[in-house]
């Protein structure tokens, strides 16, 4: 057991207590952020004269050496320390002697851990933005290649009206654009530095909080020391945004699973992104899509967990808050993995345009357009709806699509029908004439593609 705080105690900590309390098994994940934060603190201590410049330099060099050695694999993070903060400080003292003991001047582990968690999550927000950018680029290419790939659009998972694959994928593009913008918002709001808040009430040393904030790339210092050490809103916001990303990926995965099924065959997943069965030789399973869908649960769990942990904590720091880490780290890693794998899976999947088109052509996806045809000829919409309903029944009885009926069959149901009906209800017309903003028609989609292209270039 290696603790920073033995002075006041007359007994060793019980071993079970020690293990229950320790966080090094998981907070070692932000060793780099911890050291970076300490370097900024040490520089500031030197420049403000709280310690000498020479001491500051010794500490900074010592910390840089520790970072280097951990990264090279020359220094192993020992589980005998309570947390990563204790490990780094003890190693520093070990290496540079008594000067190392001055590093913690004007600092508490409470503002230290608040800083580390912010630095870590801030870095990960950038990584997630990068992954979302890659995913959106892939969606954009799929859209560009499929502006005339007809497919049925569904409501209630029943064929509704024809759309294109570009339009369907475009819906997800909008979701991921919002996810991206959520990451930008979160970054802005979290980008204030809690270092210097001390245990909860600041310190009497003349710390320069502006300086440490600037050294660490923050917009400025946080404004209330009690809030600084006990705020985990940014973790909650991040987990909420990650939950939304997971929900989007999960919905899309569900569709890929359906599209890839034997019944649909709209797409075929690449062999590299599918798996087999140990017993059924014919199987090629969409395991990646299923796992992405399945992992949504643990991301939501992280959000619910931190919300629940935080709800009853009085100001300021309480040890409950140590629980902010494990599930957050897991959720971040999970979502990063899911975005990357999902991107590869859809980039490599084969689109079966013929199957999609054939499916759009049966199932009466042009029934609304047939009713609209009658309306344009003067039939009130409610009557037109009834006529087409009858027509659909007739088609079902005779196993035909609306456009397969002869003009005399059509006229037997309503004499308003004319030869021009075939053009009016063709797939090309049904999709091609829908050109209001956001609709699947080519003019509308091309405008969206331009906007998306400009957006992707602006965040490149
Ligand atoms: N491991 C602790 C955490 O993650 C570090 C802060 C400890 N502070 C304290 N007062 N015990 O929250």
Q: What local confidence, expressed as pLDDT, does residue 280 receive?
A: 81
- Among residues 67, 65, 134, the alpha carbon closest in space to that of 95 is found at 65
pLDDT in single tens digits along all 460 residues of the chain: 667 777 888 888 888 999 999 999 999 999 999 999 999 999 999 999 999 999 999 999 999 999 999 999 999 999 999 999 999 999 999 999 999 999 999 999 999 999 999 999 999 999 999 999 999 999 999 999 999 999 999 999 999 999 999 999 999 999 999 999 999 999 999 999 999 999 999 999 999 999 999 999 999 999 999 999 999 999 999 999 999 999 999 999 999 999 999 999 999 999 999 888 787 878 789 999 999 999 999 999 999 999 999 999 999 999 999 999 999 999 999 999 999 999 999 999 999 999 999 999 988 999 999 999 999 999 999 999 999 999 999 999 999 999 999 999 999 999 999 999 999 999 999 999 999 999 999 999 999 999 999 999 999 9
Other beta carbons within 10 Å of 458: 7
* Nearest ligand 1 atom, CA 83: 1
Exactly one of 156, 399, 408, 458 is catalytic; which is it?
A: 156
* Nearest ligand 1 atom, CA 324: 4
Q: How far is the CA of 111 from the centre of ligand 1 (A)?
A: 9
Tokens 């923050």, located at residue: 218
* Nearest ligand 1 atom, CA 325: 4
| 277 given a catalytic annotation | yes
- Triad 261, 278, 265: Cα angle to 5°: 10
Q: How far is the CA of 20 from the centre of ligand 1 (A)?
A: 13
Exactly one of 78, 261, 277, 412 is catalytic; which is it?
A: 277
Report the chain's C-alpha Rg in angstroms: 31
**Protein residue with least CA distance to atom 11, ligand 1:** 319
**Protein residue with least CA distance to atom 10, ligand 1:** 110
Q: What local confidence, expressed as pLDDT, does residue 284 receive?
A: 82
379-386 long-range CB contacts below 8 Å, 24 or more apart?
379/414, 379/416
Strand pairing report for 350-351 and 267-268: antiparallel
Tell whether omega for the bond before 316 is within 30 degrees of 0, i.e. cis: yes
- How far apart, in whole angstroms, are the C-alpha atoms of residue 125 and residue 128? 5
Q: What local confidence, expressed as pLDDT, does residue 1 receive?
A: 64
Best residue among 113, 228, 229, 316 to mutate for probing ligand 1's pocket (most ligand atoms within 8 Å of CB) is 113
Which residues have any ligand 1 atom within 6 Å of their CB? 23, 27, 83, 109-110, 113, 317, 319, 321-322
């Amino acid at each position: 057991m290696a603790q920073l705080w033995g002075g006041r105690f007359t007994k060793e900590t019980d071993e079970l207590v020690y293990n229950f309390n320790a966080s090094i098994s998981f907070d070692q994940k932000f060793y780099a952020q911890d050291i970076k934060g300490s370097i900024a603190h040490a520089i500031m201590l030197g420049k403000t004269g709280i310690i000498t410049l020479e001491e500051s330099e010794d500490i900074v060099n010592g910390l840089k050496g520790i970072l280097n050695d951990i990264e090279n694999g020359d220094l192993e993070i020992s589980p005998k320390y309570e947390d990563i903060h204790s490990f780094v400080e003890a190693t520093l003292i070990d290496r540079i002697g008594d000067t190392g003991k001055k590093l913690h001047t004007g600092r508490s582990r409470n503002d230290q851990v608040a800083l580390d968690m912010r630095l870590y999550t801030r870095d990960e927000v950038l990584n997630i933005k990068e992954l979302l950018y890659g995913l959106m680029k892939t969606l954009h290419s799929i859209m560009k290649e499929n502006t005339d790939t007809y497919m049925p659009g569904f409501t209630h998972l029943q064929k509704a009206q024809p759309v294109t694959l570009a339009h369907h994928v475009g819906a997800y593009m909008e979701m991921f654009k919002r996810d991206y913008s959520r990451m930008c918002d979160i970054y802005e709001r979290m980008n204030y530095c809690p270092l210097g808040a001390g245990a909860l009430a600041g310190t009497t040393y003349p710390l320069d909080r502006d300086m440490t904030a600037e050294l660490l790339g923050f917009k400025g210092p946080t404004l209330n020391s009690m809030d600084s050490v006990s705020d985990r809103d940014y973790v909650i916001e991040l987990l909420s945004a990650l939950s939304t990303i997971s929900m989007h990926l999960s919905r899309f995965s569900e569709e890929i699973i359906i599209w890839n099924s034997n019944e649909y065959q709209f797409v075929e997943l690449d062999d590299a992104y599918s798996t087999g069965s140990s017993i059924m030789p014919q199987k090629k399973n969409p395991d990646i899509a299923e796992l992405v869908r399945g992992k949504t649960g643990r991301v939501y769990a992280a959000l619910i967990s931190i919300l629940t942990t935080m709800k009853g904590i009085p100001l300021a720091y309480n040890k409950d808050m140590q629980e902010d880490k494990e599930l957050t780290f897991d959720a971040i890693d999970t979502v990063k993995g899911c975005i990357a794998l999902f991107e590869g899976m859809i980039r490599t999947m084969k689109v079966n345009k013929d199957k999609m088109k054939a499916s759009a052509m049966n199932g009466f996806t042009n029934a609304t357009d047939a009713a609209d045809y009658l309306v344009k000829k003067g039939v009130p919409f409610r009557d037109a709806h009834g006529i087409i309903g009858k027509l659909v029944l007739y088609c079902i009885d005779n196993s035909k699509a609306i456009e397969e009926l002869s003009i005399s069959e059509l006229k037997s149901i309503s004499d308003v029908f004319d030869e021009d009906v075939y053009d009016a209800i063709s797939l090309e017309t049904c999709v091609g004439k829908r050109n209001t903003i956001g609709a699947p028609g080519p003019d509308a989609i091309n405008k969206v593609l331009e906007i998306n292209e400009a957006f992707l270039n602006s965040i490149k």
